[in-house]
Structure 1
Amino acid sequence: MSIFWFIPTHGDSRYLGTSRSARALDLNYLKQVATAADSLGYEGVLIPTGRSCEDPWVVASALLPLTQRLKFLVAVRPGLHQPALAARMAATFDRLSGGRLLINLVTGGSEEELAGDGLFLDHAQRYAESAEFIRIWREILTRSHSGESFDFDGDYLQVQGARLLYPPVQKPYPPVYFGGSSEAGHELAAEQVDTYLTWGEPPAAVAEKVADVRARAARHGRSVRFGIRLHVIVRETEEAAWQAADELISHLDDDTIAVAQNAFARMDSVGQRRMAQLHKGRTGRRREDLEISPNLWAGVGLVRGGAGTALVGNPEQVAARILEYAGLGLDTFVLSGYPHLEEAYRFAELVFPLLPESLHARLQAPGDYRVGEIVANVYLPKAAQS
């Protein structure tokens, strides 16, 4: 099981949909989140992409020398990146980081945003271009280990004699992650990517997606790993966790929700449509309106695009839901929470000890190193009870 955290390059706050208690987005804050994830034992961090975010490659490069073990899941975007240049960027980052790069293939879900970036392909065309892009990218990096060049003449992309002189550390290439809920997305995942990521839908819906992608991959003679993207709100008691969920959206108003939902409705992303449908047309803020599955809460998706659900509960409940998803075949969990610095600590300290041992070994004291404040200047604090 791999647990990832999130670098909030589109902003962070204690409350959604308002500037109240919002945090300034600067390198110092991003450094705090990244170094916390690194020291707490998260395997890596997802850096988001899009016009609402700081550039992920620049951010990853800035955070790289500030961390020691953390892997960086960084986006490539067909149409904005050319595959040969993206391969060179990936190889460079992978070498300089000692093999700490993971690739997030993003096709884009908002036609308005894509048009602003000069991209005018429709949904089907974007997936066809993405399939050509990642095929070229993979071949260039794979062949770099033997010094071979690569030619490709597709409907959208062409390269002649593409060659990479300095190969990546990871062989044959840094692993590729991808999320797409349409049929074209499932087919692309089955044919070419290493890990398929779904947004946080109820377990039955996730199981259907896993089964479909797995079957498609088998027809290509391949196997694919699976993961999920979720927010988390964990507190020591269930009551406190649901109170925190209520507080997160306590400053939302109906106009803000309507503006956000109208924007989501204009997107051609099947995944975004599925996120919106989780509300079943309701935009109420009561727990009974938004708890769509045990401990799975859709309140984040009232105003946030992309991942719109959170696991809410006490440590045992959140761990049980994670293990339930793991039982469906998921082994990668890309998590986040508001504010991202504090929630990274809460989740690691409260939930890691309830998950496989490798995930919380970093939280244990090596040798006789002292953990916690000394009692009365003399006594060691009592060991935590498992």
Structure 2
Amino acid sequence: MEIFWFIPTHGDGRYLGTEHAARPADFAYMRQIAQAADELGYQGVLIPTGRSCEDAWIAASSLISATQKLKFLVAVRPGLMSPAVAARMALTFDRISEGRLLINVVAGGDPVELAGDGLFLDHDSRYSLTDEFLDAWRLFMRGEKVDYAGDYIRIKGGQLAYTPVQKPYPPLYFGGSSKAGQRVAGKHADVYLTWGEPPEQVKAKVEQVRKLAREQGRSVRFGIRLHIIARETEQAAWQAAEDLIRYVDEESIRAAQNIFARFDSEGQRRMASLHHGKRDGLTVSPNLWAGVGLVRGGAGTALVGNPQQIAERIEEYKQAGIDSFILSGYPHLEECYRVAELLFPLLRVSTGKSGGKAAYVSPFGELANRNNTAAHAETAGSDSLDGK
């Protein structure tokens, strides 16, 4: 099982839909999250893409030297990048990071944003373009000389000077819930991604994309994008979920849903159908809560519960065919730790660490080893001003 975390390059906070307790996505904060994920044992991080985010490639590149093992899932954008330029960027990143790049293929789902970036194709045409883009991109990454003539892409005599560390190229992660998107995924994806729908819906997607891949003589793995609200008790977890949308009012819900309604993304439509823009009925499957999607586009569901409940739900997704879990929580630094501490032992995720057992050290120098019934006292000085 792969467990990834998320770097919020668009900003972070304790609450959704408000500036209250919000945090800017500056480099120091992104680095903190990346280093925490690296140290805690997450295999990788997703770097988001879009006009509300810092540039994904520059953000990810800045974090290579700040981490050791962490992989970076970074988007290529067919229609906004040429296959040759995208391949050169991926090749360089893969070499500098010594094989720590994963590719997130994003065709886009917001026609308004895409028009602002200069792309004016309709939904299915974008996926046809994506198909051609990936045909050419894979040829470049394999070190071949590229002559390509399609309906959208034309290349004559293209070639890269180097080859990637990962052979034949960094793995391709691909999301797309429409028929057009799933066809492209079946042909090209190494890992097909879905947002957090109920397990039975996810299983149906897995079976469909697996069938399409078999028709291409291929096999594909599957991943899911979810938020996590884990607490030591179920009651505390649901209270944290309610707290997350404490400042979300009906006006902000309407404004967000009006924006999402312009999307031509089937995945976004499926997310919206889970809550219909209403606060009641947000629990759409056991421990699966759609409250995030009231004001957040893209992944709009969270697993909510105590560690045992969330581990059981993750096991259900595993049984449906999912083996890559891309998780997040608000705020992302604290929740990165919380998810690792509460869930990793139940999911048998290895942190790769070695050394002594954890111990509690008081500010006054007293150390209580959890494996020793006797309390040990250290004689280090107090930080109290009067010492009494």
TM-score norm. by structure 2 comes to 0.93
Q: For residues 352 and 380 of structure 1, what CA distance do their matches in structure 2 show?
A: 22
Percent pairwise identity: 62
> Do the aligned partners of 1:78 and 1:130 also contact (CA within 8 Å) in 2?
yes
Q: Distance in 2 between matches of 1:300 and 1:55?
A: 24
* Match in the other structure for 1:377: 366
How do 1:329-348 residues align onto structure 2 when only pairs under 5 Å count?
A: 329-348=321-340
The reply to whether residue 266 of structure 1 matches residue 262 of structure 2 is yes
CA distance, structure 2, for counterparts of residue 374 and residue 338 of structure 1: 28
- 1:219-368 aligned at under 5 Å gives the runs 219-279=215-275, 281-284=276-279, 286=280, 289-356=281-348, 359-362=349-352, 366-367=354-355
Q: Which amino acid aligns with 2:264?
A: D
List structure 1 runs of 4+ shifted beyond 3 angstroms. Answer: 374-379
- Which residue does the alignment assign to 1:24? 24
* CA–CA separation in structure 2 for the residues paired with 1:300 and 1:156: 37
Corresponding residue of 1:175: 171
Measure how far apart 1:378 and its partner are.
5.4
**Offset, 1:361:** 3.9
Deviations 1:218-248 (A, max 9, x none): 1111000000000000000000000000000
Q: CA deviation at 1:373?
A: 2.0
CA displacement 1:115-167 (0-9 Å, x = unmatched): 0011100001100000000110011111x1xxx31211000001111111111
Q: Which secondary structure does the structure 1 equivalent of 2:88 belong to?
A: helix
Alignment of 1:79-228 (within 5 A): 79-142=79-142, 144=143, 148-228=144-224
Distance 2:203 2:251 in 1: 35
1:360 & 1:167 partners in 2: Cα distance? 31
Q: Partner amino acid for 1:214?
A: R
Partner of 1:57 in structure 2?
Answer: 57
Aligned to 1:77: 77
Shift of residue 171, structure 1, vs aligned partner = 0.2
8 Å contact 1:193–1:224 — kept in the other structure? Answer: yes
CA contact (8 A) 1:78 1:133 kept: yes
Distance (Å, rounded) in 2 between the aligned partners of 1:311 and 1:113? 29
In structure 2, what is the equivalent of residue 46 of structure 1?
46
Question: Hey, what's the Cα distance between the residues in 1 that align with 2:134 and 2:301?
Answer: 29
Secondary structure in structure 2 of the residue aligned to 1:64:
coil
Give yes or no for contact 1:31–1:63 (8 Å, CA) kept in 2.
yes
Alignment-mate amino acid for residue 104 of structure 2 = N
Distance 1:19 1:268, change over 3 A: same
Shift of the alpha carbon at 1:328? 1.0
CA contact (8 A) 2:360 2:367 kept: no
Asked whether the equivalents of residues 359 and 370 of structure 2 are also in contact (C-alpha less than 8 Å), the reply is yes
Kept after mapping to 2: 8 A contact 1:189/1:213: yes
Counterpart amino acid of 2:58? V
CA separation in 1, counterparts of 2:321 and 2:10? Answer: 31
Q: Please tell me the root mean square deviation across aligned C-alpha atoms, in Å.
A: 1.2
8 Å contact 2:359–2:368 — kept in the other structure? no
Shift of 1:192: 0.8
C-alpha contact 2:213 2:220 (8 A) present in aligned 1: yes
Secondary structure of the 2:323 match is: strand
1: CA distance between counterparts of 2:42 and 2:131? 30
Given that 2:257 and 2:277 are in contact with CA atoms closer than 8 Å, whether structure 1 keeps it comes out as: no
Contact 2:39 2:351 in 1 (8 A): no
Counterpart CA distance in 1 for 2:272 and 2:367 is: 56
In 1, are the aligned partners of 2:110 and 2:264 still within 8 Å (CA)? yes
Cα distance in 2 for residues equivalent to 1:232 and 1:35: 20
The whole-number CA distance in structure 2 between the counterparts of 1:206 and 1:249 is 26
Q: 5+ unaligned residues in a row in structure 2: which ranges?
A: 373-388
Alignment partners' CA distance in 1, 2:369 and 2:303: 35
Paired amino acid for 1:283: K
Q: Which moved more, 1:331-340 or 1:160-169?
A: 160-169
Cα deviation 1:355-386 (Å, max 9, x = unaligned): 13xx1343x6x24x242224873542238xxx
SS of aligned partner of 1:66 = coil
CA distance in 1, matches of 2:156, 2:224: 37
1:34 and 1:63 in contact (8 A); partners too? yes
Amino acid in structure 1 at the alignment position of 2:36? A
The 3-state SS of whatever aligns with 2:369 is: coil
For 1:330 and 1:283, the matched residues in 2 are separated by 29
Quote the Cα distance in structure 2 between the aligned partners of 1:293 and 1:97.
40
Q: What are the superposed Cα offsets for residues 235-279 of structure 1, whole Å, 9 maximum, x if unpaired?
A: 000000000000000111110000000111111000000000011
Q: State the AA in 2 paired with 1:342.
A: E
Partner of 1:4: 4
What is the letter of the counterpart of residue 22 of structure 1?
A
For the Cα contact (< 8 Å) 1:374–1:381, is it kept in 2? no
Taking structure 1 as the reference length, the TM-score comes to 0.94
* Matched AA of 1:10: H
Q: Secondary structure of 2:74's partner? A: strand
Unaligned stretches of 5+ residues in structure 1? none
Q: Which amino acid aligns with 1:380?
A: N
Return the index of the structure with the highest Cα Rg: 2
Q: Deviations over 1:34-56 (max 9, x none)?
A: 00000000000000000010000
Distance, in Å, in 2 between the alignment partners of 1:379 and 1:7 is 35
